Chains A and B, each alone.
Chain A
Amino acid sequence: MFAELIEAIAKILFIFGVNMGFFAPILGWVERKQSAVMQDRIGANRADILGFTLIGLLHPLTDTIKILTKEDFIPAGANKLFHTLAPFISLTPALITFAVIPFGGQYEIFGHRVNLVIADLDVGILFIFAFASLATYGSVLAGWSSNNNWSFLGGLRAAAQMLSYEVAMGLSIIGIIMVYGSLKLTEIGAMQVDLFKWGIFLQPVGFILFLTCAIAENKRVPFDIPEAETEIVAGYFTEYSSMKFIMFWMAEFLEVVTISGIVTTLFLGAWHLPFVSGEKLLSLFGFAGPNLSIVLLMLTNIATFFAKVIFFIWLQMTIRWTLPRFRYDQIMKLGWKIILPLALINIFITGLVMLLK
């Protein structure tokens, strides 16, 4: 009982630390620096401590200090309660959804069973979808409660876009659920031991559809009409400043991480290394004794999982800095007329293949 409590707390602290302490600040730096290098620029590198700039890594720190000392402004005529509530509604789902993503499998260490997931729910994917949908309320509330035309337009666009893509995203994932026959993310992850059983080989169309929908759901370029800087200032968070402003950004970055986690778990073999099975690794680590070798295997798998996550973060960042923004009607057309039918066809073909096999 006591050991389980410690295990749970350790896992929560680990995921929380990785997300809030590593990914959230680093992604801001990555976005600046990667976009700069891709566009033949240098990027932010001026913040320094005693002359050491650390290639701009101190900028998240200085940004934090700046943001914390800014005035928290609420515009006249805004609904104070909802205006304050909105960033929290945006941030919470982004933090919570990582709870059901397994990041390393199950192990027996010193006679204690360790399952590397915070909450091993039977309906893991449904949980993610349920909470990801809640994030819509954050954007809509922020847009509506700011008492600003731009914010209001952004909120309207966010509502329309996110509701549309929610449907397509739900359907795009059905194929993978049919193939693996489970909603439990740990089981789906455990089934992808062999390289050719990875979701990306079994469901290539589903992979592309899900990634597209997930980026649209996250409101990043090319689907960033809710915040479209060139059209409506900053969209639904135009009227936000100080910590609340940064909470929207943190939510966006954490959603990038979460999407990468989900895609890794569902389509890219979760924590499994390609071509190298767990037994082979275990025999490789045999020099460390029975228990420590399992610990080493666990660490390898965790590292593999996060390497895949980082790869997908890189992919999303590249997409974000490569593609131009879709127009509103193009987004709606893509969502309803292309992705939704494709997802349905994908489900149909998956069912047919499974039936004939």
Chain B
Amino acid sequence: MSYELNYTVGSIPLDKLKPKKVRKNIELTLWERLYIPEIARGMIVTTRHFIVNMVGFIFPPEGKKRKIFTVYYPEEKLTIHVAYRGRPVLVQREDGKEKCIACGLCERICPAFAISIIGGERQRGNDMERYPVSYTLDMSRCVYCGLCEEVCPYEAIVMSNEYEGLAEYDRENMIYPKEKLLVPVAKLQKRIEYVRKIYGKSNYDLRNMI
């Protein structure tokens, strides 16, 4: 069975690409067994890297500080993509209350048993609504898997892009109460939209549900 491929690799058309030769015979040739030329070849490779990188230090390429991709962490930071799973946070509505309805799905799915919720009810307009009286996230157990975010039907818990300041000297400080988890919804809009896309929640009519 044959089929035609007419895409390109980089800028080279496929039919002009040479197939890579695979050496079936792993016996060394005499030239390789002499060893000295092969050492020289290896040293040329490392020296080329050395020279290219040194030139890259002195004359950095356009728009970059250096040719080497290393990032000096505390001074320079990577731009975090929206797919990054930082610490989980509770979404805070515009009126300052939490979006969570204390259904307990996240508590149930959490593989590390990091979440514990105590639910309650409160007045909202003419209706009653459920809310978490206490929502505790044990950050010493959290594995940043994002299952809580995936399972949440109300987009009430999402993974933020925060990854700093999470280490503590005391385990007591790593148990996050509800107040520490709440983040205004405006800050999390990008992630919420992303979550709708990847978990197929876009067909939920969420505005009616809340």
Q: Verify that A and B bind, or say they do not.
A: yes
Known: A319-B43, A322-B42, A323-B42. A37 touches B36 (CB 8 A): no
Chain B 33-76, CB within 8 Å of chain A: the 1/0 string? 00010010011011101100110010000000010111000000
Among A4-12, A39-47, A291-299, the one that faces the other chain is A39-47
Residues of B within 8 A of A41 (CB): 68, 70
Q: Report the contact-size class of chain A (Cβ under 8 Å from the partner).
A: 10 to 19
- Report whether A40 and B43 are in contact in the complex, using a CB–CB cutoff of 8 Å: no
- Report whether B68 and A322 are in contact in the complex, using a CB–CB cutoff of 8 Å: no
Known: A208-B36, A318-B43, A322-B42. A34 touches B50 (CB 8 A): yes
- Report whether A38 and B68 are in contact in the complex, using a CB–CB cutoff of 8 Å: no
Report Cα–Cα, A319/B40, bound state, in Å. 9
- Report whether B43 and A322 are in contact in the complex, using a CB–CB cutoff of 8 Å: yes
Give residues in B with beta carbon < 8 Å to A. 36, 39, 42-43, 45-47, 49-50, 53-54, 57, 66, 68-70
Residues of B within 8 A of A42 (CB): 66, 68, 70
Residues of A within 8 A of B66 (CB): 42
Report Cα–Cα, A150/B43, bound state, in Å. 31
Known: A319-B39, A322-B39. A40 touches B68 (CB 8 A): yes
Decide if A321 is an interface residue (CB 8 Å cutoff): yes
Known: A41-B70, A42-B68, A208-B36. A321 touches B46 (CB 8 A): yes
Report Cα–Cα, A319/B38, bound state, in Å. 12
Least Cβ distance of A295 to chain B in Å?
35
Residues of A within 8 A of B69 (CB): 40
Q: Which of A34, A38, A39, A323 contacts B39 (CB 8 A)?
A: A323
Residues of A within 8 A of B50 (CB): 34, 37-38, 318
Residues of A within 8 A of B70 (CB): 41-42
Report Cα–Cα, A42/B47, bound state, in Å. 16
Report Cα–Cα, A208/B43, bound state, in Å. 15
Report Cα–Cα, A323/B38, bound state, in Å. 10
Query: Can you add 15 more A-B contacts, CB < 8 Å, to A41-B68, A322-B45?
Result: A34-B50, A37-B49, A37-B54, A38-B47, A38-B49, A38-B50, A40-B49, A40-B69, A41-B70, A318-B47, A319-B39, A321-B46, A322-B43, A322-B46, A323-B42
Residues of A within 8 A of B46 (CB): 38, 318, 321-322
List 7 A-B pairs, Cβ < 8 Å: A37-B49, A38-B53, A41-B68, A42-B66, A208-B36, A318-B46, A318-B50
Known: A42-B70, A208-B36. A37 touches B43 (CB 8 A): no
Report Cα–Cα, A38/B66, bound state, in Å. 15
Within 8 A of B (CB), among A7-63: 34, 37-42
Residues of B within 8 A of A34 (CB): 50
Least Cβ distance of A297 to chain B in Å?
33
Least Cβ distance of B104 to chain A in Å?
48
Residue of A nearest to B50 (CB): A38
Residue of A nearest to B53 (CB): A37
Residues of B within 8 A of A322 (CB): 39, 42-43, 45-46
